[in-house]
Chains A and B, each alone.
Chain A
Amino acid sequence: KNEVEQSPQNLTAQEGEFITINCSYSVGISALHWLQQHPGGGIVSLFMLSSGKKKHGRLIATINIQEKHSSLHITASHPRDSAVYICAAHLNRDDKIIFGKGTRLHILP
């Protein structure tokens, strides 16, 4: 079983819909990152969280340390949000970083 699990693997939605991507982890972490990867490979760091909630524009990220769970929400989704979203966890035990398998999001116009 992977130590970082993402769901769903694939998500197709209509423009304007509210999107939620989930990330669960089974190990102690010091921080969790949400990354966005567009076709072609470039990765952008969206959020870095160790507790609570962060908001940037239409994107919101939350983390519940006790439940070992984080969510990424996109409000008023747009076709340009189509990308792969990846969560990444920094491990307490050795400071290494492990990644979820990613969620492929496709927003239809």
Chain B
Amino acid sequence: KAGVTQTPRYLIKTRGQQVTLSCSPISGHRSVSWYQQTPGQGLQFLFEYFSETQRNKGNFPGRFSGRQFSNSRSEMNVSTLELGDSALYLCASSLDRPANTEAFFGQGTRLTVV
């Protein structure tokens, strides 16, 4: 059974640009959550999608957005990139609410903003 796949693994972008990251969950999983990890702040929750609907959202500015498709694949987008957006972005999939079911993480996308 394939795990959670995130693409790309590494990305370098320039300040002001936008970026789209992709996450393919484990087959049958309908919940996809996104997280940002930085050395200073650690892991922080971005948002959670379930059956194409955003079910929960963390405390990030509107520049951070996401969506989920009918096949449960999810994308997150960051517009007008800032240097502070450099981070490891992780997604996790689960059958249902992450509070109730085991989450499986992807390897992450390491974004560097220069």
B residues near A35, Cβ cutoff 8 Å: 105
Asked if A42 meets B105 with Cβ closer than 8 Å, knowing A98-B45, A102-B42, the reply is yes
Main secondary structure of the interface of B (DSSP, over half): strand
> Contact partner of A95 among B56, B90, B104, CB < 8 A?
B56
Question: How many contacts between A and B, using CB within 8 angstroms?
Answer: 51
Q: Is B42 a contact partner of A94 (Cβ separation < 8 A)?
A: no
Q: Could you say which residues of chain B place their CB within 8 Å of the CB of A31?
A: 99-100
Asked if B99 contacts A41 (CB within 8 A), the reply is no
Q: List 18 A-B contacts (CB under 8 A).
A: A31-B99, A33-B103, A40-B107, A41-B108, A42-B105, A42-B108, A44-B105, A45-B92, A45-B103, A48-B102, A86-B43, A88-B43, A95-B97, A95-B99, A97-B98, A97-B99, A100-B42, A101-B42
Considering only CB atoms, which chain A residue lies closest to B101 in the complex? A48
Asked if B16 CB lies within 8 Å of chain A CBs, one says: no
Complex Cα spacing A99 to B46, Å = 12
Alpha-carbon separation in the docked complex, A41 to B89 (Å)? 10
B37 to chain A, nearest CB (A): 8
Closest to A41 in B: B108
Query: How many residues of chain A are within 8 Å of chain B by beta carbon?
Result: 23
A43 within 8 A of B: yes
CA distance A44 to B4 in the complex (A): 11
Q: A41-B90, A90-B98, A90-B99 are in contact. Are A96 and B45 (CB under 8 A)?
A: yes
**Cβ of B110 < 8 Å from any Cβ of A?**
yes
| B-side interface size class | 20 to 34
Is A99 in contact with B105, judged by CB distance below 8 angstroms? no
Complex Cα distance A80/B24, Å?
28
Give the CA-CA distance A90 to B101 in the complex, in Å.
Answer: 12
The complex places the Cα of A23 from the Cα of B44 at a distance, in Å, of 17
Interface residues of B in 30-56 (CB under 8 A from A): 33, 37, 42-45, 56
**Distance to closest chain B CB from A103 (angstroms):** 12
* Interface: A30 (CB within 8 A): yes
From B3, which residue of chain A is reached at the shortest CB distance? A42
Distance (whole angstroms) from the CB of B55 to the closest CB of chain A:
8
